[in-house]
């Protein structure tokens, strides 16, 4: 995760966008805040999975909407590469010859749509990667170190919001989000504390299960999925010792014992 001061500033920017929209914070507000804060013309988020169909979740304008659709339809582009390799793909100028060869169809299609630079940032937390945040500019653009750090902080926040939206096994948010619109919104809480509690619960699971931190997070998230609970609620139960995991049995609630 990014520094506390940067994360706090990004949270405030996103909260302001949600207030302007008149709703609770969702990934659409991350996109609009990123566009307002960075030298880009638009942003979009796509939910992506290695086992199910990927699909766009939200976009700020027509060009970003086209970029999301193009990459998922063609199966190529910075968004696809960022998800596949788990690292940011920064493309300051789509007219670069090497990129024309790398994305033989997408590069020309993106230029025709009105994009010149594209930055794809994977959404990641532990071993979970629910999607990618894409930013575009209509002129050749380079993000400096501070701007890139802000972009990554926006991606961090989008990750937390998506994970807490209880995405079901189809990849669609369990609240009825539509492609191109805002996913199920959630209240804007102290996301720094939220992440800290998830980290603490994951650490507890490493001890209870005798496994590594990434696998422990997968187990925590899997339990939230199967039970239909928010990740934050499951983490809180683990930290408060109301829920205990075991290597050989299903997790059990200790507060139900007589």
pLDDT, position 195: 61
- How far is it, in rounded angstroms, from Cα 149 to Cα 171? 28
78: closest CA among 96, 57, 51? Answer: 96
- State how beta strands 128-137 and 117-125 pair: antiparallel
If you average pLDDT over every residue of the chain, what do you get? 83
- How far is it, in rounded angstroms, from Cα 73 to Cα 54? 9
Q: Give the pLDDT band of residue 17 (cuts 50, 70, 90).
A: very high
pLDDT, position 186: 39
* Mean pLDDT value across residues 57-69: 93
- What is the percentage of the chain residues whose pLDDT exceeds 90? 50
pLDDT for residue 239 is more than 60: yes
* Lowest mean per-residue pLDDT among 27-31, 52-56, 219-223: 52-56
Contacts 24+ apart (CB under 8 A), 11-19: 11/157, 11/188, 11/191, 11/192, 13/37, 14/154, 14/157, 14/188, 15/188, 18/185, 18/188
- State the first-to-last Cα distance of the chain, in angstroms, to the nearest integer: 40
pLDDT, position 134: 98
pLDDT for residue 107 is more than 50: yes
pLDDT for residue 1 is more than 50: no
* Mean pLDDT value across residues 142-149: 97
* Mean pLDDT value across residues 162-180: 44
pLDDT, position 176: 32
* Lowest mean per-residue pLDDT among 70-79, 80-89, 175-184, 197-206: 175-184
pLDDT for residue 95 is more than 60: yes
Q: Give the pLDDT band of residue 193 (cuts 50, 70, 90).
A: low
């Amino acid at each position: 995760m990014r520094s506390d001061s940067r994360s706090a500033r990004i949270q405030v920017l996103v909260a302001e966008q949600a207030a302007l929209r008149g709703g609770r914070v969702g990934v659409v507000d991350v996109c609009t805040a990123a566009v307002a804060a960075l030298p880009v013309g638009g942003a979009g988020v796509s939910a992506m999975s290695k086992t199910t169909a990927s699909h766009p979740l939200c976009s700020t304008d027509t060009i970003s909407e086209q970029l999301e659709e193009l990459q998922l339809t063609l199966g190529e582009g910075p968004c696809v590469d960022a998800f596949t390799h788990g690292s940011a793909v920064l493309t300051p100028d789509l007219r670069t010859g090497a990129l024309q060869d790398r994305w033989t169809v997408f590069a020309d299609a993106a230029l025709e749509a009105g994009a010149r630079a594209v930055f794809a940032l994977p959404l990641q937390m532990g071993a979970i990667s629910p999607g990618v945040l894409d930013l575009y500019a209509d002129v050749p653009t380079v993000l400096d170190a501070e701007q890139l750090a802000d972009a990554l902080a926006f991606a961090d926040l989008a990750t937390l919001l998506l994970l807490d939206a209880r995405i079901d096994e189809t990849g669609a948010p369990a609240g009825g989000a539509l492609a191109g619109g805002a996913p199920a919104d959630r209240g804007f809480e102290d996301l720094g504390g939220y992440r800290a509690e998830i980290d603490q619960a994951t650490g507890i699971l490493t001890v209870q299960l005798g496994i590594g931190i990434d696998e422990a997070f997968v187990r925590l998230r899997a339990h939230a999925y199967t039970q239909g609970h928010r990740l934050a609620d499951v983490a809180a139960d683990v930290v408060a010792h109301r829920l205990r995991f075991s290597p050989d049995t299903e997790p059990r609630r200790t507060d139900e014992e007589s």
